[in-house]
């Protein structure tokens, strides 16, 4: 007898089980992200410091766009829980931009260089997909994508921050951008996220799985692209 998928996920007591199932299905791509040659090259001091300028500028455009996407979601939120969570996302991106300024200063990147820079498609695919979710997707699709992807991004950021200080003599201050992303989720954040996901899981199960898989695909594309342009 084939048990309907709706019944299976309706019986869940913990959204963590759902997230864990996505991570299990995506373990191959997650492994590729966490063992990416770009990260390994920085850990071994093989990416020229000058090439880190590319990373910083691409992140400037990514985070600026992500902030707008979260602001859109906050404006069209279905309830106070969703509105509050997406407003927190906006604040996180504001903080990330402020911290990125410290990295940009370390790399001597001027405002004119930022303004006239032409972003690379492979690096920007992630944030462009997030924009699509903000305009066409459900609240829960973005929340699931973030719950799955941000811890992986955070792990890589933590490794980059430590490597930049060790191998490239970056200051502690200039690496705050990386270390903040490496900070684990707060319990309040997880509680709010789970509430949003639970209210939509039965109706939007397939949509949530696709959003999580694609965000990981675009995450990998970012690392592939940045690596190709840095060696």
Question: Domain for residue 21, yes or no?
Answer: no
- 215: CB partners within 8 A, 6+ apart: 126, 129, 130, 145, 146, 148, 149
**DSSP letter assigned to residue 182:** T
Residue 39 has which token pair?
A: 């990260």
Of 160, 137, 150, whose CA–CA distance to 44 is shortest? 160
Per-residue pLDDT of the chain (231 residues; tens, 9 = 90+): 333 444 344 444 578 889 999 999 999 999 999 999 999 999 999 999 999 999 999 999 999 999 999 999 999 998 999 999 999 999 999 999 999 999 999 999 999 999 999 999 999 999 999 999 999 999 999 999 999 999 999 999 999 999 999 999 999 999 999 999 999 998 889 889 999 998 878 778 889 999 999 999 999 999 999 999 998
Question: Domain for residue 42, yes or no?
Answer: yes
Question: Domain for residue 45, yes or no?
Answer: yes
Residue 84 has which token pair?
A: 């509050």
pTM: 0.92
Question: Domain for residue 166, yes or no?
Answer: yes
Query: Number of structural domains, the chain?
Result: 1
What number of residues does the chain have?
231
Residue 41 has which token pair?
A: 């090259």
Question: Domain for residue 17, yes or no?
Answer: no
Question: Domain for residue 197, yes or no?
Answer: yes
Question: Domain for residue 8, yes or no?
Answer: no
Count CB atoms within 10 A of the CB of residue 42.
26
Question: Domain for residue 140, yes or no?
Answer: yes
CATH number, domain at 87?
Answer: 1.20.910.10
Residue 31 has which token pair?
A: 């492994």
Q: Which domain holds residue 86?
A: 26-228
């Amino acid at each position: 007898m084939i048990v309907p998928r709706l019944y299976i996920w309706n019986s869940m007591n913990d959204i963590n089980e759902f997230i864990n199932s996505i991570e299990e299905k995506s373990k191959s791509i997650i492994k590729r992200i966490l063992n990416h040659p770009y990260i390994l090259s920085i850990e071994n001091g093989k990416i020229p410091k000058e090439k880190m300028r590319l990373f910083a500028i691409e992140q400037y455009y990514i985070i600026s766009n992500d902030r707008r996407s979260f602001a859109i979601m906050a404006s069209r939120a279905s309830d106070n829980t969703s509105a509050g969570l997406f407003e927190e996302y906006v604040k996180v991106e504001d903080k990330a931009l402020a911290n990125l300024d410290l990295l940009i200063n370390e790399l001597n990147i001027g405002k004119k260089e930022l303004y006239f820079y032409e972003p690379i498609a492979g690096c920007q695919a992630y944030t462009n997909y997030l924009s699509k979710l903000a305009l066409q997707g459900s609240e829960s699709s973005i929340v699931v994508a973030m719950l799955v992807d941000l811890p992986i991004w955070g792990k890589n950021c933590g490794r980059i921050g430590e490597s930049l200080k060790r191998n490239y003599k970056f200051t502690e201050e200039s690496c705050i951008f990386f270390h903040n992303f490496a900070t684990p989720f707060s319990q309040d954040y997880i509680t709010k996220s789970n509430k949003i996901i639970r209210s939509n899981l039965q109706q939007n199960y397939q949509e949530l799985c696709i959003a999580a898989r694609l965000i990981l695909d675009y995450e990998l594309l970012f690392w592939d692209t940045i690596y190709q342009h840095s060696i």
